[in-house]
Amino acid sequence: MEYLNYNIDLEILVLVVLVFSVIQSIFGVGLLLFGTPTLLLFGLPYDVTLWTILPSSIAISAIQAISSYKLVMYKKDVVFYTLPFLIISLMFIIAYDSVVDIKKLVGSMMILIGLIKFSDYLNTIINTIVKKNMKIYHVIMGIIHGVSNMGGGPLSILMTAIHKDKYTIRANIAFVYMLFGISQLIILWIMKTETFQLNGIFLIAVSIVSYFYVGRILASIINENKYKLLITILILSYGIISFL
């Protein structure tokens, strides 16, 4: 079964959502972080990519945020500083998508995120900068997510700098990620209704099944340090491939 006019099978979309939903179930991010470059590499336009995977990402984030809502304590700064710049930058990238190389932009963000995650030294520096410049960091995070859908990396860095408990980190990432996704869908509905993807709604069921039957089980038994190393290598690999 071909996916509209693009050369990608529905089976591939299901596989992408299944695999990266598992990663998001464990770390709070993953479906957008890896799903976006995957679909772009398959040739889907940025707006079609967003329509396809945003509903599934929102579904998983909503489940995680609601089930751990008592741990969510990060709301005001995201609403006042991040979301407005996310919206502005997304509107810009949709309006001028023909002159912006989205794949290379996404690749650049992934390489940057991978290098920061790979280096303890860079992590320490970034954490110090984040704590001293919270409002500016929120603005930058919104711009990054709007233009590339890669805000999950900066978001995880932010939450790791603020919180130490992994469950609190995951709950707050999920809540903010949910706000990101809802904001993006609203802008897409206003500016790109004609590229709405019905399969994006169907894929919600795929992501929920993946979350409950695979992701939650792995999250409770997996060695997170080894898994984080694997994810970092994967992020860097995706970034490099985006330039080839």
pLDDT given at position 222: 67
What is the share, in percent, of the chain residues with pLDDT greater than 90? 34
Model pLDDT, residue 227: 63
Cα separations in angstroms, 180 against 14, 22, 213, 220, 237: 22, 19, 25, 26, 25
DSSP, collapsed to helix, strand or coil, labels residue 9 as strand
Looking from the CA of 113 toward its CB, the CA atoms found within 13 Å total: 36
d(CA 162, CA 205): 33
- Helices H / strands E in the chain, number of each: 13, 2
- Both structure tokens of 111: 């390489």
In the numeric block, the tokens 């080894």 are attached to: 226
Integer CA distances (angstroms), 55 to 32, 85, 110, 151, 178, in order: 10, 21, 22, 16, 10
Predicted pLDDT at 1: 38
Residue 37 has pLDDT above 70, yes or no: yes
Mean of per-residue pLDDT scores for the chain: 85
Mean per-residue pLDDT, 182-205? 93
- The pLDDT value recorded for residue 129 is 86
Confidence check: pLDDT of 128 > 90: no
Which position has the higher pLDDT, 1 or 82?
82
- Which string of b and e fits 19-35 if b means at least 16 CB within 10 Å? bbbbbbbbbbbbbbbbb
Average pLDDT over residues 55-74: 88
Residue 53 binned pLDDT confidence (cut-offs 50, 70, 90): very high
Q: pLDDT band at 220, cuts 50/70/90? A: low
18-22, 125-129, 212-216: the lowest-pLDDT one: 212-216
The one-letter code for the residue type at 45 is P
pLDDT of 2 over the 50 cut: no
Query: Which pLDDT score, from 0 to 100, does residue 50 have?
Result: 95
Q: Classify the phi-psi angles of 4: left when phi > 0, otherwise alpha if psi is within -120 to 50, otherwise beta.
A: left
Residue 27 has pLDDT above 80, yes or no: no
pLDDT at 47 over 90: yes
Number of domains composing the chain: 1
Range of the domain at 61: 2-241
Interaxial angle between packed helices 134-148 and 152-162, expressed in degrees from 0 to 180 and rounded to the nearest 10: 160
Whether the per-residue pLDDT at 74 is higher than 90: the answer is no
